Structure 1
Amino acid sequence: CDQDGDGLTNDEELAAGTDPMNPDTDGDGLADGDEVNGDPNNNGQISDPNDPCDPFNTDTDGDGICDLAELADGSDPNDPCDPNPNSAVCLYSPVKAKVFLQGAYDVNTGLMRDDLRVKGLIPAVEPYSQLPQFDYPNGGDIVSPAVLSLDGADAIVDWVFLELRSAVDPSEVLASRAALLQRDGDVVDVDGQSAPAFSIQPGNYYLAIRHRNHLGVMSNKPMAFGNGNLPVIDFTDHATQTWGNYAQKDLGDVNALWGGNTNGDRNLIFQGNNNDVDGVFFDIILDGQNTTFSSNHIKTGYSLNDTDMNGEVIFQGSNNDLDVMIFFNVMTYPGNFPPLISYIVEEQLP
């Protein structure tokens, strides 16, 4: 029985998911029977009886509304945000960014070390939702063991934190998310390869990249996000202008985020209140494995006090976490002249 006379029996319509009482289920002007049986126009195209945009009425902007319908209601078939500014495709705003962390950077290879990954210390769940200095209540991003097993230049170094800030008031964070950082500086999504994306209205935004024990950096001007744009910024390049003065450490051929911010207060302090030294000391002294309370003890793990990101916290002795990342960063900071040991290196974010 073919109740609607579209060339399909009622049973065939039920199997195809079409309406046995409607000869043109998707309203595209083609009978269900012609679409199910394929190539109704004899042009080599196969049509879908449940998709009004397939294949003769396209959806150019991917917003779920066919071009003909958009033209009929006066919306723009080339704008995914018209007529629905809250559609998923409209709010999709990826970014391609590159950044180095001073603590992990190896000047001999031009890559960052991935000691934390090699030692199995990178947490599967992003750490920023658990740190008070980061506002990320809806975090919980997870990286798979497969992604963390990759080696080479694309091996994961650590989690980083991305922020989109208002073009009018760059101190206002409008969107944020965690992402992964590869040895070559590429910032990627949790799949280890895609460009990280924000869910936000298309527009111009500042991009800031922060890290749990490094000082953050931000673009010097807003960039266009969404509407098919893929903003690209390379913070490792000396030519890239950033917000503020001396926002990054000059490592010769490249720039990198200043390391040594162990207490997360967005400053580097060697001597004085809220300094970054005391945290390293108490971390090793109070370690449960340090039964003799020795200042030479080496604590292993994923810690804010591991300034060189090798998986070890060392207060005293060779390769300690104080000399290079805290003391010398403070004393050689370009704005600290004549050099004062009590100088405070401030993060260059508004």
Structure 2
Amino acid sequence: PATANVSINFPALAAGDYYVGVRHRNHLSVFSANGVSLSSSGTLVDFSSAATAVRGEDTRVTSGGFRLLPAGDANRDNRLIAVGSGNDSNILLASVLTAVGNTGYNSSYRLFGYVPGDFNLDGVALFAGPDNDLTLLLQNILTNVSNINSAMNFIVSANSGF
């Protein structure tokens, strides 16, 4: 369940400079570009701020003035791939087509639950149809700032270190 608490505590951590990273389910990870001074008094690392330098700077997406983790990494290889070897769209499609309740093997079947193909985190994995998850994966690939030709076979790699 979602909470309002965004604090992470490491009570036994010795004060010093550390690289800080965040990995979330089916999103690309983000990792600080430089060591961050951590101590018992608390340190804010705001990955949603464009001012926070990260490894692989072009891997975050911007929405509403915030930097976000790009969604679509269904196989958790820290890359977004729509077509070709190791793509994430096939993970989404396979989970929908082989769902226990999808007796007709329908690509627009709504698979409810906490599953890797639920890229938009609405509790439903959907390959085809309105509000499908494939569109978010494609959007995060096609609009990536390094994908200057808007190529479908472009690979977004997190370059984050984990």
For the criterion TM > 0.5, the same-fold answer is yes
- Report the Cα offset of residue 229 of structure 1: 3.6
- Residue 149 of structure 2 is aligned to residue 338 of structure 1: yes
Aligned to 1:196: 9
Q: What SS does the aligned partner of 2:19 have?
A: strand
Aligned to 2:55: 243
Deviations 1:253-273 (A, max 9, x none): 111111111111110001100
Deviations 1:28-52 (A, max 9, x none): xxxxxxxxxxxxxxxxxxxxxxxxx
Change (3 A) 1:213 1:204: same
Aligned to 1:187: 6
Could you say what the CA RMSD is over the residues aligned between the two structures, in angstroms? 1.6
- Residue 140 of structure 2 is aligned to residue 321 of structure 1: no
- Alignment match of 1:220 (pick from 3, 19, 33): 33
The 1-side partners of 2:11 and 2:60 are apart by 25
| Number of residue pairs the alignment of both structures matches | 161
CA contact (8 A) 1:187 1:196 kept: no
Residues 134-149 of structure 1 mapped to structure 2, 5 A cutoff: none
Report the structure, 1 or 2, having the larger strand content. Answer: 1
The 1-side partners of 2:145 and 2:102 are apart by 38
- In structure 2, the gaps of 5 or more residues are none
The one-letter code of the counterpart of 1:208 is G
Aligned to 1:50: none
The 2-side partners of 1:198 and 1:304 are apart by 31
Change (3 A) 1:301 1:211: same
The one-letter code of the counterpart of 1:307 is F
Residues 263-302 of structure 1 mapped to structure 2, 5 A cutoff: 263-302=75-114
- Report the Cα offset of residue 198 of structure 1: 4.9
- Report the Cα offset of residue 245 of structure 1: 2.5
Q: What SS does the aligned partner of 1:211 have?
A: coil
Give the TM-score of the pair, scaled to structure 2: 0.92
Aligned to 2:118: 306
Deviations 1:294-332 (A, max 9, x none): 122111011111001011010110011101x21111111
Residues 1-350 of structure 1 mapped to structure 2, 5 A cutoff: 117=1, 155-156=2-3, 182=4, 187-188=6-7, 195-226=8-39, 228-323=40-135, 325-350=136-161
The 1-side partners of 2:11 and 2:87 are apart by 34
The one-letter code of the counterpart of 1:258 is P
Bigger RCO of structures 1 and 2 (CA < 8 A, at least 6 apart)? 2
Deviations 1:218-245 (A, max 9, x none): 122111223x341111111122222232
Change (3 A) 1:326 1:304: same
Structure 1 residue runs of 4+, over 3 Å off? none
Q: What SS does the aligned partner of 2:20 have?
A: strand
Q: What SS does the aligned partner of 2:96 have?
A: helix
Deviations 1:182-210 (A, max 9, x none): 4xxx523xxxxxx4225333221010011
Q: What SS does the aligned partner of 1:250 have?
A: strand
CA contact (8 A) 2:59 2:144 kept: no
Greater C-alpha radius of gyration: 1
